[in-house]
Structure 1
Amino acid sequence: MLGHTTRSLFHVREYAMSSIINAVHTAVSGLNAQSHAFTDLSNNIANSQTTGYKASTTSFEDYVTNNELANDGESLSDSVSATTRQHTDNQGMVTTSTNSTALAISGNGFFNVVQATGQSNDSTPVLGTQQYYTRNGDFSQDKNGYLVNTSGYYLEGYNVDATSGTLGTSLSAIQVPSTIAFRPTESTKLTATGTLDSSSKTVDMSTTAYDSTGAASTVDLTWTKVNDTTWTVKDANDTTGTSNSATVTFDSTGAVSSVTSQDSTGASSTSSSSFNYTGSPQDMTVSLSGVTLGSANTVSMTSDSVTSGTFSGISMETDGSVMATFDNGYSQLVAKIPLTTFADPNSLSAQNGQAYTATSQSGSPQINAVNTNGAGTLTTGSIEESTTDLTGDLSKLIVAQQAYGANTKVVSTADQLLQTTLAMIQ
């Protein structure tokens, strides 16, 4: 009988020890979980003013382990775990910025950015190959003309080739140096002025015209006398003699009275002073009203292209265009900003400075033009604010603090019970 009683006391003490240790384990897991929550909430609160920051939340889940309290095939939870949940798909409030080159996304897209890995001997940044994505659109130009956000990431886009004037098809860091050259504007009108010598049989005139990319072409026109009051003017490079030609009639004062023309398509028209030039480099109007008949050949021709300008700054457009502005009042496209979307943006891997990298869970990056495929719109001179709910997170912080304190009480109580149990064993 005594042996049975001794064994029963042993089992009671063993059961008590196991229960106390489990209680300590549960309370410690609670402390760790609440500490995790503290970290997430503190990070949100600290970044409540950080441009493009996406607030996270803490998720708690219970763990079921091998528990002696289990009975009838049921397991009881004796620990808790906390994980951080990202909410990169949450839209932040768009507010006006004093920075004219800042951009804010309203939608699902991200800016494509890269980091500098060093500097060359001339202090030009050496850019890395790792692709990053961000919603921090507070961009400004650095000393080399690159667009860099407040976290030090370099904005990427499709740059216009300085030689051909065409938009590229691969992403690269956008750079607009102060030395950028002005591309001549597209020619839309050629103007002939001066005097035709009435005693001449042919007179040539030429000028340089520019296409939409700023590429130059020479336009040659030849005047041929028909009679004292009638001349023909045509494209000197046309061997058929019918394209881009016009018959010009002068009145008794030597001024142009009518122009009957035929363009390269065969279409005819009559005007008092001009004709349509079609073909290379593009369709243009040729004005002849400034030409008169006289006793000397001084006729010449000019185009309406603006050919010079000094760089004065950059401007951003809502369609993602980055424009170089010049002192002549013109702006020219230097780059185009696309936006990248993901099937599951909440599965992106967070990096320093409000940036992310793609993961297998996020899906492959899909590059889109602004305002297509859900990528979103751009607001210029604006930023996207942090999505932190400051009031709500402060309230949650108080609750987490109370839960942390309660778990501390459990550990303290369990310690007292453990000491009592050990004293009983002794």
Structure 2
Amino acid sequence: MLGHTTRSLFHVREYAMSSIINAVHTAVSGLNAQSHAFTDLSNNIANSQTTGYKASTTSFEDYVTNNELANDGESRSDSVSATTRQHTDNQGMVTTSTNSTALAISGNGFFNVVQATGQSNDSTPVLGTQQYYTRNGDFSQDKNGYLVNTSGYYLEGYNVDATSGTLGTSLSAIQVPSTIAFRPTESTKLTVTGTLDSSTAAGATLSPSMSTTAYDSTGAASTVDLSWTKVDDTTWTISNVNDPSNAATVKFDSSTGAVSSVTPLNSTGTSGTTSSSTSFEYTGSPQDMTVSLSGITQGTSTDATAPTMTSDSVTTFSGISMETDGSVMATFDNGYSQLVAKIPLTTFADPNSLSAQNGQAYTATSQSGSPQINAVNTNGAGILTTGSIEESTTDLTGDLSKLIVAQQAYGANTKVVSTADQLLQTTLAMIQ
């Protein structure tokens, strides 16, 4: 009888120890799970001001294992696991930026970007082949003219061929260097600047003549030459060197030296109707154009500068602008702009399954599906807002509240471990 009692007591103690160990195991898994939640929440809070950041959440799930507490073939949960859930499909608030080249996506698309893997001897970046995707559209030009976001990723798009002017069909990093050449448009205006010398003898013609290059509608270049001939103290004649009959008399104000009137001359050299405008109508090759004379004056020999002439088709680069359709435009000092690249947006069947990388970037996975490249505002890719950024999707107030709950849960699991330790010490004492 005594032996039976001893065996029963042994089984009770064994059962108790097993239960206590299971309780410790469960509590430890709870501590790990809440630590995981702490990490996710702290990451969201830390990135509450990060452009294009997508906040994540923590999902908890129970594990069912075979343990001695199971009865009649049933199993009970004795641990918990936590996993991070991405929400890259959540839309962040679009806000205005002081950066004119910043872009914000409203929709499901991502920018196509690459990283630099090094630098060449001339300090230009060597770009990698790994394709990345991001919602961080805070792009600015670097010293080489590349569009780079605040995380160091280079924006890709379809670049315009500098020679043919046609849009490419494969993605490459967008670069708009300051040396970019303006593809000539049809010239419509010639501008003359300078100061004519009032001491020039009457009847004298200035040499050399003013010369510039103008372009027709096909982009073919022609040279335009105009000359100045002194008539009297306040009057000059401007004429087409290749067609002297195409001429006008230009009168200057004796006080200010500014152009006061322009009178066209007909083929016989007879004056036509005097005009108060400051322009001369050029006729000839490559087409008829207006010559602006508002920049020409007459002054003393001390003030005199050789008159020059420029075409509105000859200009210098002044900057870039971004358009809502994804066009990247090079702007020039003549007021014209031209397309240099087109930005597409990429979508995925399951964007929440993308693999997160450093700097608010992602890579495709088998679960996310293959990348689908779309034009802006097609197939759900979304629209672009220029001069704007997409803010972080972190709910700061909500995450701080969740952080308090996670802290309480962590403390409760710590209490379970402490209590189980006390029970284990009591049980061991009973065995002894």
**Residues 192, 302 of structure 1: 8 Å contact kept:** yes
**Residues 312, 334 of structure 2: 8 Å contact kept:** no
Which residue of structure 1 lines up, in the alignment, with residue 214 of structure 2? 209
TM (norm. structure 1) is 0.75
Which range is displaced more, 399-408 or 267-276? 267-276
**Residues 155, 174 of structure 2: 8 Å contact kept:** yes
Any residues of structure 2 matched to 1:223-238 within 5 Å, and which?
A: none
Mapped to 2, the partners of 1:312 and 1:396 lie a distance apart of 50
Mapped to 1, the partners of 2:305 and 2:32 lie a distance apart of 95
Find out whether 1:247 has 2:253 as its counterpart. no
Q: Tell me the secondary structure at the aligned position of residue 275 of structure 2.
A: strand
Q: Tell me the secondary structure at the aligned position of residue 367 of structure 2.
A: coil
TM-aligned CA deviation for residue 216 of structure 1: 6.0
Change (3 A) 1:395 1:292: closer
Change (3 A) 1:225 1:164: farther
Which residue of structure 1 lines up, in the alignment, with residue 419 of structure 2? 413
TM-aligned CA deviation for residue 276 of structure 1: 20
**Residues 250, 263 of structure 2: 8 Å contact kept:** yes
Q: Cα deviation per residue 1:97-118 (whole Å; 9 max; x = unaligned)? A: 0101000000000000000000
Change (3 A) 1:191 1:265: farther
TM-aligned CA deviation for residue 34 of structure 1: 0.1
TM-aligned CA deviation for residue 67 of structure 1: 1.2
TM-aligned CA deviation for residue 19 of structure 1: 0.1
Any residues of structure 2 matched to 1:298-313 within 5 Å, and which?
A: 310-313=316-319
TM-aligned CA deviation for residue 352 of structure 1: 0.1
**Residues 103, 379 of structure 1: 8 Å contact kept:** yes
Q: Cα deviation per residue 1:304-357 (whole Å; 9 max; x = unaligned)? A: 8557xx111111010101111111111111111000000000000000000000
Which range is displaced more, 213-222 or 140-149? 213-222
Which range is displaced more, 337-346 or 298-307? 298-307
Change (3 A) 1:394 1:236: same
Which range is displaced more, 331-340 or 18-27? 331-340
TM-aligned CA deviation for residue 73 of structure 1: 2.0
Unpaired runs of at least 5, structure 2? 200-206
Mapped to 2, the partners of 1:115 and 1:271 lie a distance apart of 59
Mapped to 2, the partners of 1:343 and 1:382 lie a distance apart of 26
Which range is displaced more, 281-290 or 330-339? 281-290
TM (norm. structure 2) is 0.74
Q: Tell me the secondary structure at the aligned position of residue 270 of structure 1.
A: coil
Mapped to 2, the partners of 1:265 and 1:32 lie a distance apart of 100
Change (3 A) 1:222 1:75: same
**Residues 114, 132 of structure 1: 8 Å contact kept:** yes
**Residues 87, 352 of structure 2: 8 Å contact kept:** yes
Change (3 A) 1:43 1:224: closer
TM-aligned CA deviation for residue 119 of structure 1: 0.4
Mapped to 2, the partners of 1:289 and 1:98 lie a distance apart of 36
Q: Cα deviation per residue 1:283-310 (whole Å; 9 max; x = unaligned)? A: 9999999999999999999998557xx1
TM-aligned CA deviation for residue 194 of structure 1: 24
Q: Tell me the secondary structure at the aligned position of residue 305 of structure 2.
A: coil
Aligned residues: 418
Which range is displaced more, 410-419 or 279-288? 279-288
**Residues 203, 223 of structure 1: 8 Å contact kept:** no
Change (3 A) 1:16 1:258: closer
TM-aligned CA deviation for residue 72 of structure 1: 2.0
Change (3 A) 1:262 1:387: farther
TM-aligned CA deviation for residue 182 of structure 1: 1.2
Q: Tell me the secondary structure at the aligned position of residue 297 of structure 2.
A: strand
Mapped to 1, the partners of 2:98 and 2:48 lie a distance apart of 19
Change (3 A) 1:278 1:356: farther
Q: State the identity %.
A: 93
Change (3 A) 1:286 1:170: farther
Change (3 A) 1:211 1:167: farther
Change (3 A) 1:192 1:74: same
Which residue of structure 2 lines up, in the alignment, with residue 32 of structure 1? 32
**Residues 40, 56 of structure 1: 8 Å contact kept:** yes
Q: Tell me the secondary structure at the aligned position of residue 48 of structure 1.
A: coil
Change (3 A) 1:14 1:283: farther
**Residues 95, 390 of structure 2: 8 Å contact kept:** yes
Which range is displaced more, 413-422 or 209-218? 209-218
Change (3 A) 1:117 1:289: closer
Q: Cα deviation per residue 1:353-381 (whole Å; 9 max; x = unaligned)? A: 00000000000001111001100000000
Q: Tell me the secondary structure at the aligned position of residue 232 of structure 2.
A: coil
Change (3 A) 1:183 1:12: same
Mapped to 2, the partners of 1:280 and 1:375 lie a distance apart of 48
Mapped to 1, the partners of 2:251 and 2:98 lie a distance apart of 60
Change (3 A) 1:374 1:67: same
**Residues 157, 335 of structure 1: 8 Å contact kept:** yes
TM-aligned CA deviation for residue 188 of structure 1: 8.4
Change (3 A) 1:182 1:89: same
Change (3 A) 1:88 1:190: same
Mapped to 2, the partners of 1:224 and 1:287 lie a distance apart of 17
**Residues 182, 314 of structure 2: 8 Å contact kept:** no
**Residues 263, 277 of structure 1: 8 Å contact kept:** no
Q: Tell me the secondary structure at the aligned position of residue 369 of structure 2.
A: coil
Which range is displaced more, 374-383 or 245-254? 245-254
**Residues 164, 213 of structure 1: 8 Å contact kept:** no
Change (3 A) 1:132 1:282: farther
**Residues 165, 214 of structure 1: 8 Å contact kept:** no
Q: Tell me the secondary structure at the aligned position of residue 129 of structure 2.
A: coil
**Residues 164, 215 of structure 1: 8 Å contact kept:** no
Change (3 A) 1:275 1:403: same
**Residues 203, 297 of structure 1: 8 Å contact kept:** no
Which residue of structure 1 lines up, in the alignment, with residue 202 of structure 2? none
TM-aligned CA deviation for residue 185 of structure 1: 1.1
TM-aligned CA deviation for residue 66 of structure 1: 1.1
Which residue of structure 2 lines up, in the alignment, with residue 219 of structure 1? 224
TM-aligned CA deviation for residue 228 of structure 1: 39
Q: Cα deviation per residue 1:220-255 (whole Å; 9 max; x = unaligned)? A: 9999999999999999999xxxx9999999999999
